[in-house]
Chain A
């Protein structure tokens, strides 16, 4: 018995023919062929299947697909593309917050849902926001730093500065000052 569910996937109205025991993870991965959503622990422990449902980060493996009728589901595909990365994606690349990359979509979606509600968090709040995601390669320092960098970039974009302008602005401030005065440490 196939049933049809209708929901919004990354802003677009979609429908899928499913069976009633399917999870949202199965529907996204195997029916809708959404690549970013990862199947790993399938028990809500690892966060690799994290998607955003009506604004909240959730594990797709623990959601019966029938229950997402009429809901908004957002996956990593909604954030950016290789030529125009979302600040979170860009920061994860630049900080090396990703090694094998399997956990990365889940981390980024958990961070995205969190930053949508808390645009200016403390480091401790970021750590809590990412605590439902496991990484077995790089660890957790770099993802946290990546989120912090993304926040800074989003603030710069909000204040109307492009990344180049932000760097130029910093360069102007630094001109004529010694590294010592500016407390710059060269690594």
Chain B
């Protein structure tokens, strides 16, 4: 009987070298909370070469510069859920982390894995779109930085080549007067895969009476996370008005392309997405107002 090959990488360079050496058979193992579900449900192709990146110390920390948060790709969902720095500057990501899966999975699942898995229902990625995150990808041909939307190309599809790995997620720190929020809905509260999710980042004007800038992302309602540009355009520069936000949130239903699956029907997703969008926008606005505009 032939078995898979298991290789442990000690550094990013080591991992890239091992991935390159394994060619088309290479599979990166990070937290494994998605990969192992696949291994358990059907037999693994014995030609698979696993490259384990979980012992690479340089990609396990959350750091900050003056303008950015630098999140290592092996940072776990638990770390994101508990980090004060993430809470301060990337509220939507922290809320998504806290609502993702259950404690056991959060202790193992990683931010890099959530991106590379590219599930439309990934909670962290919805928040990362709204937070305008970028991703550093390292491969044999060097290091590149791209927007999260450039890396995820479809349902469980990415633009990553077999010898590339995600090393870092870069999140611009929010400006003063700005807050982000995340909301999801599923069949129950814990351990639920999102039937739909929404995240936004809102920047209010100095007098806190109008919306200066806004980004809205919707998850689990199209092959990838999508931006609700119609909602953003309809609110940018407008005075804060609960009814207006409610009305224009309906525009989010136009950019999604939901399917009917075991988690929800297409009709339900079309109905619930505007509600989630409205809720997150109002939540972000009230958080800015509560903070008194001082970030």
> Which residues in A have some Cβ–Cβ distance to B below 8 Å?
1, 3, 19-21, 23, 42-45, 47, 50, 56-59, 61-64, 66-67, 69, 110, 114, 128-129, 131-134
A62-B37, A131-B191 given as contacts; is B104 within 8 A of A44 (CB)?
yes
CB pair B8–A131 under 8 Å, yes or no, is: no
Q: Are the C-beta atoms of A63 and B108 separated by less than 8 Å?
A: yes
Q: Chain A's nearest CB lies how many Å from the CB of B117?
A: 13
Return the contact of A43 from the options B8, B41, B52 (Cβ within 8 A).
B41
Which A residues are in CB contact (< 8 Å) with B78?
56
Chain B interface residue number, banded: 20 to 34
Q: Which residue in chain B gives the minimum CB-CB distance to A25? A: B40
* Distance between B116 CB and nearest chain A CB, rounded to angstroms: 16
Return chain A residues, CB-CB under 8 Å to B37: 43-44, 62
Given known A62-B37, A132-B102, contact A67–B29 (CB-CB < 8 A)? yes
Q: A62-B36, A131-B190 are in contact. Are A57 and B104 (CB under 8 A)?
A: yes
Q: Is the CB of A43 within 8 A of B29?
A: no
Nearest chain B CB to A41 CB, angstrom units: 9
Interface residues in B86-138 by Cβ distance below 8 A to A read 101-105, 107-108
Would A62 and B105 count as touching, CB distance under 8 A?
Answer: yes
Indicate if the CB atoms of B33 and A114 lie closer than 8 Å: no
B interface residues (Cβ-Cβ under 8 A, vs A): 3-6, 8, 29, 32-33, 36-37, 39-41, 44, 50, 52, 54, 78, 101-105, 107-108, 189-191
Number of A-B pairs, beta carbon distance below 8 Å:
91
| Chain B: minimal CB distance from A141 (Å) | 15
Q: How far is the CA of A134 from the CA of B37 in the complex (A)?
A: 18
Measured in the bound complex, the distance between the Cα atoms of B102 and A114 in whole Å is 13
A47-B104 CB under 8 A given contacts A64-B52, A132-B190: yes
Q: How far is the CA of A110 from the CA of B102 in the complex (A)?
A: 11
Residues of chain B with a CB closer than 8 A to A1's CB? 3
Could you tell me the distance between the alpha carbons of A63 and B32 in the complex, rounded to whole angstroms? 7
Per the bound structure, the CA–CA distance linking A24 and B40 in Å amounts to 12
User: Distance (Å) between the CB of A27 and the closest chain B CB?
Assistant: 13
User: Given A23-B40, A44-B37, A64-B52, are A132 and B101 also a contact pair (CB < 8 Å)?
Assistant: yes
With a CB–CB cut-off of 8 A, which chain A residues contact B8?
Answer: 66-67, 69
Q: How distant is B8 from chain A, measured CB to nearest CB, in Å?
A: 7
Collect the chain A residues with CB atoms within 8 Å of residue B41's CB. 42-43
Check A67 against B54 for contact (C-beta < 8 Å).
yes
Selected from B36, B101, B103, the residue in CB contact (under 8 A) with A61 is B36
Cα-based distance from A50 to B53 in the complex (angstroms): 23
* Contact residues in A for B33 (Cβ distance below 8 Å): 44, 59, 62
Known contacts A1-B3, A20-B50, A64-B36; A131 and B107 CB within 8 A of each other: no
